[in-house]
Amino acid sequence: MTGFADIPGAVADETGISHFGDAFREQRRLAAGAAVAPLDDRTVIEVAGPERLSWLDSITSQAVGRLSAGESTELLVLDPQGRVEHAAGVVDDGSSTWLIADAGDADALATWLTRMKFRTQATVTVRPDLALLGFVDGGAAAELALAAASAPSGVPLVWVDPWQAVSAGGHQYAEIAEHPGAALAWRVAILERESSDALATTLAADQLAGLLAAEALRVAAWRPRWSAEVDERSLPHESDWIRTAVHLNKGCYRGQETVAKVHNLGHPPRRLAALHLDGSEAVLPAVGDPVFAGDDEVGQVTSVARHHEDGPIALAILSRRTPVGDLVVRSDGVDVAATQQVIVPADAGATADIPRLTRLSRRPSAPDPRQAG
């Protein structure tokens, strides 16, 4: 854990620093770009070598073969049935490709990548000597984080979260004019551990935020995460992850057949929804709590937070057949009313305006204004 844990008032657990004494105030400052959040719940993997980009392009869901120095994206590793196995943010500096993975997935991802190298000129190294700082661009905190970011090849290692817009080759299922992710200019700086510890000693108390603040901003932006929204059944369509992590027109990769089939024929078996929770019971549901529509259990909570403006909120993976309407989350015997906001529609992938992929359909279709690239 970074030197931030030694700051008076820091409350930490095995995942990282939850807060520095006032999670709501930290969240407001983080959202305004006035604070940074140490992200000890994530780990950096360095992929080096002249063939790193073409190799990663061939085995993951994202088109990274022509990634330029300083450019960011994200990728998924899928199994042969198209289910999500690993996820990572990606930034390249011209010499190495830097992957940012959830801590619980980093070793497994690095092991899988190493096994897939064969004779590829690439090396895979988990970098526990590096620290991560999350921040929102445009504020005073951005300058501090950017100044401290490592730059081993002359390019500051700062991952720009692509969630603000539909990436080239991606597609958005959420049928909403103003996506909440568009307002979150989330960045993650990669720092040498010594630089991170030194920065921790110079920041003022009002420039610090914990993981609770960072998670609340993520949940409010409907942003999926491997450690939260992914289980052994997860398809990228279910959480609208095709928006930024899947390139629909790139070459073949493991799981592509399922990605194309579900996108073209529609009806993923489950769908992500946002829940606005009733706070009158003073009960905040936990991850894994069941969600009910009437007497029927229809899914479970995957992420939960107290937002500084929206109050208690959650993300939930629901059965595709879950009715659009109010739901109930059952937590420790207490029923918490939940207003549902649909993120992925039940017919996602089958609506008329979704583009058909040429590999499964020979008939051209009109371009979709929601699809970039």
Report whether 222 contacts 180 (CB < 8 A). yes
Return the closest-CA partner of residue 181 out of 217, 228, 133: 217
The whole-number average pLDDT for the span 20-39 is 97
The whole-number average pLDDT for the span 18-38 is 97
Classified as helix, coil or strand, 300 is: strand
What pTM did the predictor assign? 0.92
DSSP character for 295?
T
% pLDDT > 90, the chain: 87
Q: Which amino acid belongs to residue 80?
A: P
Give the pLDDT confidence score for residue 282 in this predicted structure: 83
Q: Which amino acid belongs to residue 248?
A: L
Give the pLDDT confidence score for residue 275 in this predicted structure: 98
pLDDT tens per residue across span 299-352: 999 999 999 999 999 999 999 999 999 999 999 999 999 999 999 999 987 453
Q: For residue 211, which phi and psi values (nearest 5 degrees)?
A: -65, -30
* Measured CA distances, 369 to 167, 169, 261 (Å): 13, 12, 21
Q: What string of DSSP letters covers 130-175?
A: EEEEEEETTSHHHHHHHHHS--TTSS--EEE-GGGSPPBT------
Give the pLDDT confidence score for residue 194 in this predicted structure: 96
pLDDT over 90 (residue 130): yes
The whole-angstrom separation of Cα 68 and Cα 297 is 47
Give the pLDDT confidence score for residue 134 in this predicted structure: 98
Instruction: Please give the structure tokens belonging to residue 127.
Output: 């970098």
Report whether 239 contacts 262 (CB < 8 A). no
Q: For residue 273, which phi and psi values (nearest 5 degrees)?
A: -135, 150
Report whether 269 contacts 320 (CB < 8 A). yes
* Measured CA distances, 346 to 118, 192, 298, 323 (Å): 41, 45, 13, 9
pLDDT over 50 (residue 359): no
Cβ-based neighbours of 167, under 8 Å, separated by 6 or more: 73, 243, 244, 245, 247, 372, 373
Give the pLDDT confidence score for residue 281 in this predicted structure: 74
Give the pairing type, strands 17-19 and 37-38.
unpaired
- Dmax over CA atoms of the chain, in Å, equals 63
Report whether 196 contacts 135 (CB < 8 A). no
Give the pLDDT confidence score for residue 280 in this predicted structure: 77
Give the pLDDT confidence score for residue 131 in this predicted structure: 98
Of 61-70, 112-121, 223-232, 352-361, which range is least confident? 352-361
Of 125-134, 173-182, 240-249, 279-288, which range is least confident? 279-288
The whole-angstrom separation of Cα 37 and Cα 25 is 13
Give the pLDDT confidence score for residue 1 in this predicted structure: 64
pLDDT over 80 (residue 244): yes
Give the pLDDT confidence score for residue 167 in this predicted structure: 98
Q: How confident is residue 372, by pLDDT bands cut at 50, 70 and 90?
A: very low
